[in-house]
Structure 1
Amino acid sequence: MNTLPDIHLSDHLILLGGRCQLSFKDILFIEAQRSYTVFWRVNGEYVMTSRPLGWYESSLPDYLVRVHKSYIVNLNYVVSFKDTTIRLIDGRQVMVSRRRKSFINKFLRAHLNI
């Protein structure tokens, strides 16, 4: 079976062989689930692809940041950050790895006044 590759453009991704166009600004967070990646949208919908999270990481804008081995978060939608947990605008909580905690804390304080 021949599948089309996902395409990375300047302001969005074309996923699932062209069947789904996903704007970066509509991504709330991205979650790794084994060898799959789930793109959670701000509106509550999601898109699942059969590529690993790392495959997408290098083509994402700066405000989509890896905070854990299993999560990339859109920093524009962060409401709070405490200990190792980020709370997003929809109330979901995402874990931040100990290794990335200091960087995320400094970034959020400097850019978002959190």
Structure 2
Amino acid sequence: MENYTHTISELPGKILNLPFVFEDVVYMRGESNYTIFTLVNRKQYITSRTLRVYEALLPDTFVRIHKGCIINLAYLESLCNAERVAQLKDGSSIGIARRRWPQVKNMMLKHKLRTMY
């Protein structure tokens, strides 16, 4: 049995126990009605909830970069202007939607993240 370190009770009539805290999440991907969490230690967890459910509960260090992905700005290494790609500290590269690009750049500046190339 796993120890649950994060309990969400804001969901109407439901309590959801997650075996990690949001601060450990590097990024989240939505696949149909599932969300795949990728953590700092490269471990992945799958839940049967959509990204939209979690998006409302996340701290302000998280930003949706396209329809199927939310990243944690604490793990953002850099942004590539030419290709609109987010480079994460775990080595992942994730494309950013054209219409979300201005929001991601503003969030990066707000959180005083450094690199853009």
Match among 66, 69, 72 for residue 68 of structure 1? 66
TM-score normalised per structure 2: 0.78
Q: Would you say how many aligned residue pairs link Structure 1 and Structure 2?
A: 102
Paired with 2:16 and 2:62, the residues of 1 have a C-alpha distance of 23
TM-score normalised per structure 1: 0.80
Secondary structure in 1 matching 2:54: helix
1:113 aligns with 114
- Does the CA contact (< 8 Å) of 2:29 and 2:68 recur in 1? yes
Paired with 2:88 and 2:65, the residues of 1 have a C-alpha distance of 13
RMSD of Structure 2 on Structure 1 (CA): 2.0
- 1:26-50 Cα deviation digits (max 9, x unpaired): 0000001111100100100010011
Point out where structure 1 has 5 or more consecutive residues left out of the alignment. Answer: 1-5, 10-15
CA shift at 1:7, angstroms?
4.2
1:97 aligns with 97
- Does the CA contact (< 8 Å) of 2:34 and 2:46 recur in 1? yes
Paired with 1:106 and 1:56, the residues of 2 have a C-alpha distance of 22
CA shift at 1:21, angstroms?
2.4
Q: After the TM superposition, which residues 36-51 of structure 1 pair with which residues of structure 2 at under 5 Å, given as runs? A: 36-51=34-49
Match among 20, 23, 27 for residue 22 of structure 1? 20
1:8 aligns with 8
Dislocated runs of 4+, deviation >6 Å: none
- Quick one: percent identity of the two aligned structures? 31
Point out where structure 2 has 5 or more consecutive residues left out of the alignment. Answer: 1-5, 10-14
Q: RCO greater where, 1 or 2, for CA within 8 Å and sep 6 or more?
A: 2
